[in-house]
A and B are shown apart, each in its own frame.
Chain A
Amino acid sequence: MTAAAVEMQQYSVRFGEFQALQEVNLSLPQGAFVAIVGPNGAGKSTLLKALLGLERGSLRDGPTQVSGTVRVMGLPPRKVPPGWVGYVPQVKGFDRSFPALALEVVVSGLRRRWPFIITAQERKKAEAMLDKVGALALASRRLGRLSGGELQRVYLARSLIREPRLLLLDEPATGVDVVGEADLYRHLEAYQAERGATVLMITHDWEAAQHHASAVLVLNRRVVGYGPPEQVLCHECLSQAFGHVGHGHNLVLGGRS
């Protein structure tokens, strides 16, 4: 049997006094398309970062306490070859003033370093990937001058360029227009069909989750629900998830899987 794409056991993260994730248990099979939904501050981004081995945050915010286990394709996150995992961070994360072209951002994903000079081969590969996500025209545009939706496409191309087996997307549809969103899901589904990759996507758009995801994970510090979209995205479980923000302890742990 192949290892689960993502597995967590009694996994908790605590930033100082603040419990961001509490005793999360989950096992996501390889090849799944999982939408993660939950209110703001539910620990969704924290969960993705844990899968990247970045759960500790920066030392600036004080001590972080982590307990429980995480496995990504059977390995502790920091042992997973970086090429196996693609990541699109939440929009607010990056510095727009950095002088860079869209193409360089994609090549940086390929090299895992910042390119001083881009080789012809790298250029070809990066352009092909930009083309795939419908962003070839952006290749030599400046990063700081891209719109939110254009930026998301560039980051998507960046995350796909090493053909990862696990794709972690933190609100990739934020700021993307209707056509762009449809494009995004088309690219993701095509990529998944082609490579059998696992996709974990944080989203606030339940309708999209309903239509495109094979499973939905409802998170509010704890796992509130997990299962096929039509089961999990029912009114009652969502009011459970969203009705008690700030009182994570009162939540009933969703038992479905």
Chain B
Amino acid sequence: MMEALQLPFLQRALLAGLLVGGLASYLGVMVVQRRLSFLGDGLAHAAFAGVALGLLLHEEPLWVAIPFAVGVSLAITWVRERSNLGDDTAIGIFFAVSVALGVLFMSLRQGFAPDAVAYLFGSILTVTQTDLWVMGLIALGVALLAPVWSHWAYATFDRELALADRQPVLLYDYLLAGLIALVVVVSVKVVGIVLIAAFIVIPAATARLLSRTFSAMTVISVAIGVFSVIPGLAAAYLFDVPAGSAIVLVQALLFALALTLRR
């Protein structure tokens, strides 16, 4: 196990897992408390369309998927602010359009696409130096934006009071939407498109069960998001199973535990 950590690709996998786990579980707190859990799924499929377009154009998929998913996320937010269709409907429409586009792009591409499978189910061992740099930059950005937590939390608690106190609530909504999209895209390689939403939702939901305050919920969520990666990756390495599945199952186990333990 320890000598395995000498392997560069495993080091990259671990670092990627920790970064993505921490980011997703941090933003997940807002997502869960605002009842936007479906957003993770919607954006994962937008990332899928972006990746498919990147593969079709023979570009690095990340560079296509990032603007695509961020654009979809901002568009979802725009529709949510402007109609009373309900968040699930607004997200559902973009979800469907993204899948339709993704499938279309895939079919336009000649021949079999083995790399597409890697994106669907994740392949943490193929994380590159570039991927790590992008994750690191996003993590740095989110860390620098730490003071925004208070504003997001305030508007999550009571939007009207936040507005009455002259908070630029709308601006912070778009910022949150953009950041979630970024995190979803860089998580694709680590957990795969089909499992990203779990990374965002499960740690925060677990933390919600165990917390009396929103700050405690945030801290516990991040702790779960980060620390579930280590046993998850170890299990993946030892039993040769997909890392994304293993990590998500560890998180689910913690959720079940919290459900039985909470007072």
Closest 4 pairs between A and B when the two form their complex, measured CB to CB: A114-B153, A113-B150, A114-B154, A60-B84
B189 interface residue, CB < 8 Å from A?
A: no
* Partner-A contacts on B (CB < 8 A): 33, 81-84, 149-151, 153-154, 156-158, 160-161, 163-167, 208, 211-218
Beyond A59-B81, A60-B81, whether A87 also contacts B212 by CB under 8 A is no
**CB 8 Å contact bits of A76-120 with B (1 = contact, 0 = none):** 001000100101010001110111110011001001111111000
A142 within 8 A of B: yes
Nearest opposing residue in chain B for A105, CB measure: B157
Of A87, A99, A104, the contact of B164 (CB 8 Å cutoff): A87
Contact present for A100 and B164 (CB under 8 Å): no
Interface string of A107-138 (1 = CB under 8 A from B): 01001111111000000000000000000000
Of B83, B156, B166, B215, which one neighbours A116 at CB under 8 angstroms? B215
In the bound complex, residues from chain A placing their C-beta under 8 Å from that of B161 are 87, 89, 94, 108
B150 adjacent to A89 (CB under 8 Å): no
For chain A residues 128-166, which have a beta carbon within 8 Å of chain B?
142
Q: Knowing that A93-B160, A114-B154 are A-B contacts, what are 11 other residue pairs whose CB atoms are under 8 Å apart, sorted by A's residue number?
A: A52-B163, A58-B81, A85-B164, A89-B161, A94-B158, A98-B33, A99-B211, A99-B213, A101-B213, A112-B165, A113-B154
A189 vs B258: C-alpha distance when bound (angstroms): 47
Residues of A within 8 A of B212 (CB): 99, 101, 142
**Neighbour of A108 across the interface among B33, B149, B157, B218, CB < 8 A:** B157
Interface residues, chain A, with chain B CB atoms under 8 Å away: 52-54, 58-61, 78, 82, 85, 87, 89, 93-95, 97-101, 104-105, 108, 111-117, 142
**B149 and A52: CB pair below 8 A?**
no
Given the known A-B contacts A99-B217, A101-B212, A142-B212, are A60 and B82 also in contact in the complex, defined by CB atoms under 8 Å?
yes
B149 engages A116 (CB within 8 Å) = yes
Q: How long is the Cα–Cα vector from A94 to B218 in the complex, in angstroms?
A: 20
The DSSP consensus for interface residues of chain B is helix
Q: What would be 9 A-B contacts, judged by CB atoms less than 8 Å apart?
A: A54-B163, A85-B164, A93-B160, A95-B158, A99-B208, A99-B217, A113-B153, A115-B215, A116-B218
Q: Are A115 and B158 in contact (CB under 8 A)?
A: no
Q: A117 to B33, Cβ gap below 8 A? A: no
A74 to B159, CA, bound (A): 26
Residues of chain B contacted by A98 (CB below 8 angstroms) = 33, 156-158, 214
A-side contacts of B217, CB under 8 Å: 99
The distance in angstroms between the C-alpha atoms of A226 and B153, with both chains bound, is 40
C-alpha spacing A132/B81, complex, angstroms: 39
Q: How far is the CA of A89 from the CA of B208 in the complex (A)?
A: 26
By beta carbon, the residue of chain B nearest A113 is B150
Chain B residues positioned under 8 Å from A116 (CB to CB): 149-150, 153, 215, 218
How many angstroms between the C-alpha atoms of A98 and B154 in the bound complex?
A: 10
Residue from B83, B153, B166, B216 in contact with A60 in the complex, judged by beta carbons closer than 8 Å: B83
Residues of B within 8 A of A58 (CB): 81
Are B157 and A114 closer than 8 Å at their CB atoms? yes
Beta-carbon nearest neighbor of B34 in chain A: A95
Are B164 and A54 closer than 8 Å at their CB atoms?
yes
Question: In the complex, A95 Cα to B215 Cα: how many Å?
Answer: 17
Asked if B215 and A59 make an inter-chain contact with CB atoms under 8 angstroms apart, the answer reads: no
B159 to chain A, nearest CB (A): 8
CB distance from A155 to the nearest CB of B (A): 9
CA distance A53 to B163 in the complex (A): 9
A115: chain B residues within 8 A (beta carbon): 150, 215
Note all chain B residues with C-beta closer than 8 A to A142. Answer: 212
Complex interface: chain B residues within 8 A of A99 (CB): 33, 208, 211-214, 216-217
Q: Are A104 and B81 interface neighbours, CB within 8 A? A: no
CA of A112 to CA of B158 in the docked complex: distance in angstroms? 11
Give the shortest distance, in Å, between A221 (CB) and chain B (any CB).
22
A82 pairs with B165, CB closer than 8 A: yes
Question: Nearest-CB distance from A54 to chain B (Å)?
Answer: 6
> A100 near B214 (CB under 8 angstroms)?
yes
Q: Which residue of A lies closest to B146 (CB)?
A: A116
**Nearest-CB distance from A159 to chain B (Å)?**
10
Please name all residues of chain B whose beta carbon is closer than 8 Å to the beta carbon of A53 when the two chains form the complex: 164, 166
Please, which residue of chain A has its CB at the minimum distance from the CB of B159?
A: A58
Chain B residues with CB below 8 A from A61, complex form: 84
- Bound CA–CA A53/B167 (angstroms): 12
Contact A82 B215, beta carbon cutoff 8 Å:
no
Name the residue among A100, A104, A117 with the largest chain B CB count within 10 angstroms: A100
Q: Output the residue of B151, B156, B158, B208 with the most chain A CB within 10 A.
A: B158
